[in-house]
Amino acid sequence: DSKRRARNGWQDFSQALAEQQQHRLQMETHLRRAVDNREFKLVYQPQVDLVSGRTVGAEALIRWRNDTLGEMRPDHFIGHAENTGDIVRIGGWVLREACQQMRRWRDDGLPIVRIAVNVSYRQFLAEDLSETVAEALASAGLPGDALELEFTERVLIEDAPDTLSTFAALRMLGVVLSIDDFGEGYSALNYLRRLPIHGLKLSQLFLQGVPHNGSDVAICQAVAGIAQSLGLGLVAEGIENEAQRQFLIRLGVHIGQGFLFAPGLAPEELALRIQREHESTAHA
Ligand code: C2E
Ligand code: MG
Ligand code: MG
Ligand code: MG
């Protein structure tokens, strides 16, 4: 009897495994065609001045909607796309789309300085990323400093042969370079000296416990200290409440993003927000 239960347990387990495998294959099949089928879009989360609340830039975040699979958040499919290699094509689309959107905003006279785009470590391994970026900028007629690239510490452990020269080339273009989710990964502080980066993004992982969790507070303070002593910019993300905003201001962090201010917005929503901010100062 217990034998049968064990056998049933095993069957349940292997069936669950098969279903999971099935789902993965299905997702990968759809993922392969998603760029061509125009299933992706970008939303833009405002990056704001923490004191005034004014929008200074925005981060492009990918969204995927598929007729069979429905809507999916990036955490559900970016990993798969990295495993299959599809992220290279998807990432190229993201870069071009974000640059084209920036072009449209500028043509409309919208005072938005910069747009941040996430890049995967696979994009560094698979291609000359600086060429892809240069092409996206050129075809939108944008200067390099209109674009910021966010990459995670994963780029550094994968250590492609020409990571350093790619960074140098991107910097030559004028592109702003940041390390996303700083502190979550493999933080060898050594690379902060070697790489020509401009800034860090404090992982929202550590902000979650602020202000009540003592070690989260200490980690945030340490990251702010590292950024300050190396002359790097620091952007906070995942700001959800007023206490966190006040904490960051006291810490000397000026720029941040989070649901306290706004989630990812459609392009026209972001434009409206910036126009309103502009009008309210013009009339003040
Ligand atoms: P990330 O780059 O660290 O982006 C921040 C994530 O936190 C976003 O999730 C954003 O919607 C979410 N977020 C923003 N404010 C808050 C807040 O106050 N509280 C909480 N709990 N969350 C907040 P999203 O859009 O689901 O993206 C998840 C991750 O997927 C991103 O993390 C990034 O690593 C990756 N990703 C998104 N778009 C792209 C892309 O175009 N290319 C690549 N390679 N990765 C992307
Ligand atoms: Mg990011
Ligand atoms: Mg992040
Ligand atoms: Mg993240």
Q: What is the pLDDT of residue 279?
A: 86
- The whole-number average pLDDT for the span 190-212 is 91
| Ligand 2: centre distance to CA 59 (Å) | 7
Q: Write the Ramachandran bin of 220: left for phi over 0, alpha for psi from -120 to 50, otherwise beta.
A: alpha
Q: Ligand 1, from 43, 83, 118: best to mutate by most atoms within 8 Å of Cβ?
A: 118
The pLDDT tens digits of the residues spanning 76-119 come to: 999 999 999 999 999 999 999 999 999 999 999 998 889 999 99
C-alpha 74: how far from its chain's center?
Answer: 10
Mean predicted lDDT score pLDDT of the chain: 93
Is 45 in contact with 59 (CB distance < 8 Å)? Answer: yes
Among the atoms of ligand 1, which is closest to the Cα of residue 91?
42
Backbone φ and ψ of 148, nearest 5°: -120, 140
Ligand 1: residue whose CA is nearest its atom 45: 118
Res. 284: pLDDT tops 60: no
Q: Would you say the pTM of this structure is higher than 0.90? A: yes
Two tokens, residue 152 = 């995670």
19 by Cβ neighbours in 10 Å (0-12 / 13-18 / 19+) ranks as exposed
Q: Which helix (H) or strand (E) holds 148?
A: strand 147-151
Per-residue pLDDT tens digits for 125-156: 888 899 999 999 999 999 999 999 999 888 88
Distance CA 100, CA 136 (A): 8
pLDDT at 282 over 70: no
Report how far residue 44's alpha carbon sits from residue 52's, in angstroms, rounded to the nearest whole number. 19
Pocket test for ligand 1, best of 86, 180, 237 (most atoms within 8 A of CB): 237
Instruction: Give me the pLDDT at residue 283, please.
Output: 63
Give the ipTM.
0.98
Tens-digit pLDDT profile for residues 229-262? 999 999 999 999 999 999 999 999 999 999 999 9
So what's the pLDDT on residue 129?
A: 94
Distance from the alpha carbon of residue 5 to the mean position of ligand 3, in angstroms: 45
Residue 120 alpha carbon, nearest atom of ligand 1:
44
pLDDT digits (tens, 9 = 90+) for 49-65: 999 999 999 999 999 99
Report whether residue 82 contacts ligand 1, using a CB cutoff of 6 Å. Answer: no
Amino acid sitting at position 20: Q
| Residue 94 near ligand 1, beta carbon < 6 Å | yes
